[in-house]
Structure 1
Amino acid sequence: MSAKEMGTSDHHNRPHEETIEIKELLKVLLQSQAKLAEAQAQQADIQRQMLEQAKSQENIQNQMLEVLKSNSAGNKQQ
């Protein structure tokens, strides 16, 4: 007896197939979210490094400014 003869159809099997498809889609979604989280962590690390470099450069510029001020004050005394 075929499925049609028994009064059932292929539709009976579809919920199971849809469940499998949803599970696959969720798996892909979770993998994508994990990759995104990893990329965001890398971006945050790069931004932290850039901030450290900017602070270091600011310190160097402040030191240079102090040297210039010191030299300028020394030249005025002469």
Structure 2
Amino acid sequence: MSAKKMGSDRDNRPQEETADIKELLKVLIQSQAKLADAQEKQAKSQENTQNQMLEQAKSQEDIQNEILEALRSIKSAGNSQ
């Protein structure tokens, strides 16, 4: 089938079919936009979770450092007696 013949077939599609295709494309584009929004929200949520985990790790490190300092003070006090 020649390119010209294929083109004319496309031009002869019923208007309803063309409208259906346009509607399907519209729905597809809207769905893709919703998916992109959902992915962006998920990425932000993951970033927030990672930030919370980092803060928790820093807090744990601070507590461990305080404990170590207290133990050093106790050891130092014991050695001076």
1:8-63 CA-to-partner distances (Å, cap 9, x unmatched) read 85x23333322221111010111111111111111111111111111011000001
Query: How many residue pairs end up in the alignment?
Result: 70
* Other-structure match for 1:56: 59
What is the identity percentage for the equivalent residue pairs of Structure 1 and Structure 2? 31
Task: Say yes or no: does 1:35 pair with 2:69.
Answer: no
Cα-Cα RMSD: 1.7
Runs of 4+ in structure 1 deviating by more than 6 angstroms, as ranges, are: none
For residues 19 and 65 of structure 1, the distance between their equivalents in structure 2, rounded to whole angstroms, comes to: 69
* From 18, 21, 24, the counterpart of 1:21: 24
Q: Which has the higher contact order (CA 8 A, sep 6+)?
A: 1
In proportion to residue count, which structure has more helix? 2
